[in-house]
């Protein structure tokens, strides 16, 4: 399988990363098999990984792949790999089949985005050691020995220079965070607010106060920009954000987004979200939220896991060929069935998997 089919597009406007990209390219070409990009929420890990993948695509003959792994256990990860690469799914043959595939098909780069479970990732990397696969992990923190850790900070922060010229005067106010600055740049560029208006809003709502945060995704500078946008968005746009905040799969196409949100004209409702850069488009026509934006939206909206289960299982039953795109949604449906301890739901997914892989 040609990995570029499911790899994020080359990032636009990748400012201040040329030295890092050159260093990381050299590290991978020198043969380091396991590399982790580690940094805080919104620091630009995934964007840097996408840029690196595109730069290294010729080195790997186009065999680069992107898998969002989150907190899946190792068996789920292996099942995900088997589905992605078309190898055997039987639990007892899965690993041997994957290893044989990688050894037969030659060198490739696999990005494990949003790594969270150290034990599961360690088991996966050990299980696939000595195959011609280079693994690139992105994580907020990575407690793994045997992996080269590369710290990711905001671009140009060490030199105190702005990476977003249009909102340069907000750089320090937003603590150099590239996600916050990108959203602010989108708001100003779309003429949603002027720089003085945005600065005043941030000041009046406590952006510069020191406070304890819940975790790495609880970033006040991003949350306040989300709050500013939320107050000005239509009900339809808010519905789309709510869906994306609670979908555990990696991205959603426009049709599913409209159906899940109950929005008749999803493209119109999506337009301001893209203009303000609240929503990301990792693949053409498929949309997601950065984890930090997701957390800010999820606090004010309600999850509907049953609706998500029914939508994606029904979708794949009607069209099994969509599995490569909807894979993480299927694993989320599995998790929902197990959390509900619903045997009928579990058996329905088993029948679906049997039909797809037979």
Q: Return the domain boundaries, the chain.
A: 3-151, 160-300, 305-357
**240 contacts 263 by C-beta, under 8 angstroms:** yes
Secondary structure tally for the chain: helices H, strands E: 15, 8
What was the pLDDT predicted at 81? 93
Model confidence at 324: pLDDT above 80: yes
Instruction: Kindly state the average pLDDT of the residues 85-103.
Output: 91
Confidence band, pLDDT 50/70/90 cuts, at residue 3:
low
DSSP class of 226: H
Those residues with Cβ within 8 angstroms of residue 182's Cβ, 6 or more apart along the chain or in another chain: 164, 277
Model confidence at 101: pLDDT above 80: yes
What was the pLDDT predicted at 162? 85
- Residue 101's nearest CA partner among 1, 203, 246, 25 is 1
Those residues with Cβ within 8 angstroms of residue 346's Cβ, 6 or more apart along the chain or in another chain: 334, 337, 338
What was the pLDDT predicted at 5? 62
What was the pLDDT predicted at 4? 58
Instruction: Kindly state the average pLDDT of the residues 149-171.
Output: 87
Model confidence at 13: pLDDT above 70: no
Confidence band, pLDDT 50/70/90 cuts, at residue 115:
confident
Question: Using CB atoms within 10 A of its CB, is residue 317 exposed (0-12), middle (13-18) or buried (19+)?
Answer: middle
Please give the Cα distance from 36 to 117 (Å, whole number).
13
Instruction: Kindly state the average pLDDT of the residues 11-22.
Output: 82
Q: Which of 77-86, 248-257, 266-275 has the lowest mean pLDDT?
A: 77-86
What percentage of the chain reaches a pLDDT higher than 90?
Answer: 72
Confidence band, pLDDT 50/70/90 cuts, at residue 6:
confident
What was the pLDDT predicted at 1? 46
By three-state DSSP, how is residue 271 classified? helix
What percentage of the chain reaches a pLDDT higher than 70?
Answer: 98
- Residue 328's nearest CA partner among 295, 265, 297, 282 is 282
Please give the Cα distance from 328 to 69 (Å, whole number).
9
Tell whether domain 3-151 is in CATH 3.40.50.300.
yes
Instruction: Kindly state the average pLDDT of the residues 141-154.
Output: 92
Instruction: Kindly state the average pLDDT of the residues 157-179.
Output: 88
| More reliable by pLDDT, 175 or 309 | 309
What was the pLDDT predicted at 89? 77
Model confidence at 217: pLDDT above 80: yes
Those residues with Cβ within 8 angstroms of residue 312's Cβ, 6 or more apart along the chain or in another chain: 249, 256, 326, 329, 330, 332, 333
Model confidence at 197: pLDDT above 80: yes
Those residues with Cβ within 8 angstroms of residue 162's Cβ, 6 or more apart along the chain or in another chain: 156, 168, 171, 181
What was the pLDDT predicted at 61? 94
């Amino acid at each position: 399988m040609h990995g570029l089919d499911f790899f994020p597009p080359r990032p636009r406007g990748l400012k201040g990363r040329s030295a890092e990209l050159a260093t990381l390219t050299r590290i991978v070409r020198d043969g380091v098999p396991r590399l982790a990009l580690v940094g805080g929420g919104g620091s630009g890990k995934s964007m840097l990984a996408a840029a690196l993948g595109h730069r290294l695509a010729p080195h790997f003959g186009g065999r680069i792949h992107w898998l969002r792994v989150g907190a899946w256990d190792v068996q789920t990860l292996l099942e995900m790999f088997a589905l992605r690469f078309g190898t055997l799914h039987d639990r007892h043959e899965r690993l041997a089949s994957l290893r044989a595939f990688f050894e037969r098909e030659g060198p490739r780069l696999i990005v494990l985005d949003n790594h969270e479970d150290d034990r599961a990732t360690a088991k996966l990397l050990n299980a696939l050691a000595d195959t011609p696969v280079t693994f690139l992990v992105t994580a907020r923190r990575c407690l793994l020995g045997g992996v080269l850790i590369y710290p990711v900070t905001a671009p140009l922060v060490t030199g105190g220079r702005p990476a977003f010229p249009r909102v340069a005067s907000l750089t320090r106010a937003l603590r150099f965070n590239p996600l916050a600055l990108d959203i602010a740049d989108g708001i100003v560029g779309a003429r949603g607010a002027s720089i003085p208006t945005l600065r005043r809003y941030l000041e009046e709502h406590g952006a510069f106060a020191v406070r304890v945060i819940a975790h790495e995704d609880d970033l006040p500078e991003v949350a306040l920009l989300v709050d500013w946008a939320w107050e000005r968005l239509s009900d339809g746009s808010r519905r789309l954000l709510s869906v994306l905040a609670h979908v555990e799969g990696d991205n959603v196409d426009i049709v599913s987004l409209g159906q899940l949100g109950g929005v008749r004209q999803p493209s119109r409702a999506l337009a301001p979200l893209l203009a303000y850069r609240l929503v990301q488009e990792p693949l053409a026509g498929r949309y997601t939220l950065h984890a930090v934006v997701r957390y800010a939206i999820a606090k004010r909206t309600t999850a509907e896991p049953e609706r998500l289960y029914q939508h994606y299982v029904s979708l794949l039953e009607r069209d099994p060929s969509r599995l490569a795109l909807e894979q993480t949604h299927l694993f989320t449906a599995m998790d929902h069935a197990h959390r509900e301890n619903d045997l009928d739901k579990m058996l329905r997914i088993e029948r679906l998997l049997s039909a797809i892989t037979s």
